[in-house]
Amino acid sequence: MTQADETIGLDDLSALRLRAVEILRNNDRGGYTVPTDNLYPFQWNWDSAFCAMGIATFDIDRAWAELESLYVGQWSNGMLPHIVFHHVVDSYYPGPEVWGASHAPQTSGISQPPLTATATRFILDRAGGETRSRERAAALYPKILAQHDWWARERDPDSTGLVGVLHPWESGADNSPVWDGPLKGTPATKTSFNRRDVALVDATMRPRQWEYERYIYLVELYRGLGWDGSRMWAETPFKVADVGLNAILMRDERDLRALAEQFGTAAERERLASRAAQRQRGLESLWDSADRTYYSRDLVTGQRMPIASYAGFLPLWGGVDDKARVAQLAAELQRWLDLCAFGAPTMAPNSPEFDQRRYWRGPVWAIVNWMLGDGLARHGCDDLAKRLRDDTRRLMELDGFCEYYDPLTGEGLGGGAFSWTAAAGLAWALG
Ligand code: DGY
């Protein structure tokens, strides 16, 4: 029995797991899962991949359906959009008319951290050798490959090994302090708009208005460029090699290589192997040996962005194998954890940017803990992995399955009854 089992108790654990299943079922809109009711009323890309893994713990068929419905939104160039607007409702801004992308069903025009190869492997493992699951994985494989080819072709046109994100939303960590610099060099939209998020969630927990004005400016700029990837790459004021996204991409590509062993051709396996070597060199170029951390890079100015965020630890999930490097990252993460009651915070609690309640500027996210905990365990850092798992359980027990949590008080923040938090419970923390 672990320490968390002792504090939480096995009956409480089962009750929590049942509640997590209930949340994923309630947020099912018929073959796809919304992140939470009202605040996010469509299918989001990386949310769905996490949900698929959570759902696979109790319903394999429905887990495959989650990934299949996400790929209904895939563009012909391979891009997997960050939102698929299966059924349009007006509780969210910016809706499909703001994106102006020509796809049926309607979608946004940017992507999000790729986790579908990882999710496919996860579901396959859970399904054992079941034939129907193998068929569904085989059908998904070329779509996932096309998506990775898109990242390589359109978001790393100079073959540096690092892909760039062209919108803060594409990183998944919308209002990370790391984006403050490039966003200050991005114009504000001249369009007046009505944010729906701050009507649903306290504004102190959400991105600020000045950031939203730039988020919308970028959407309008790209819409004006007809979502043409090479023009977007050339003309954007916001282009960053986010260490977090690159690490998640590397993990997904590793899982894709494993899928290619079963479902791919020799030429595809070769292409993925040479891409992996290139990515490794790219990631290495983000390592700062003086500060012993990974920093993202601004691809417009070419400058490194020396603000440490949780993303600097994500190479533990995908990208880092060197023991000494792992030990350095683990020591730094331990330092962050020593400064808070519940880890892992998205920013160091003693950093000037830390804001304990505001979205990606401080709060704890269960899916981040899952990625870090999995990476730490894989590298043999069992104590630290256990600390993250125990903290995640305690947060779920204290305040349910919230979007994120205050690392100093444990208070649940943002949206409630949140799908990917429930999925993180089922597939990892409450297992
Ligand atoms: C939001 O609306 O807050 C999303 O994170 C953007 O996709």
Residue-wise pLDDT tens digits, 223-280: 999 999 999 999 999 999 999 999 999 999 999 999 999 999 999 999 999 999 999 9
pLDDT class for 12, splitting at 50, 70, 90? Answer: confident
- Kindly report each contact of residues 150-159 with a partner whose C-beta sits within 8 Å and lies 24 or more positions away, as own/partner: 150/77, 150/78, 150/79, 150/80, 150/111, 151/111, 151/114, 151/249, 152/275, 153/78, 153/229, 154/77, 154/79, 154/229, 154/230, 154/233, 155/229, 155/233, 156/282, 157/230, 157/233, 159/278
Amino acid 242 reads D
pLDDT class for 9, splitting at 50, 70, 90? Answer: confident
pLDDT class for 129, splitting at 50, 70, 90? Answer: confident
Region 98-108: what's the mean pLDDT?
A: 96
> pLDDT tens across 49-81, in order?
999 999 999 999 999 999 999 999 999 999 999
Question: Would you state the structure tokens that stand for residue 80, as one six-digit string?
Answer: 């997997």
> pLDDT tens across 401-426, in order?
999 999 999 999 999 999 999 999 99
Averaged pLDDT of the chain: 96
pLDDT at residue 5 above 70?
no
359 lines ligand 1 (CB under 6 A): no
The one catalytic residue in 174, 242, 252, 268 is 174
Atom of ligand 1 nearest to the CA of 206: 3
Active site residue 391: no
Record the pTM: 0.97
CB contact set of 28 (below 8 Å; sequence gap of 6+): 62
E strand or H helix at 305 = strand 304-305
The one catalytic residue in 170, 252, 403, 406 is 403
297 lines ligand 1 (CB under 6 A): no
Nearest CA owner, ligand 1 atom 6: 169
> What number of CA atoms fall less than 13 Å from residue 206's CA on the CB side?
16
Active site residue 174: yes
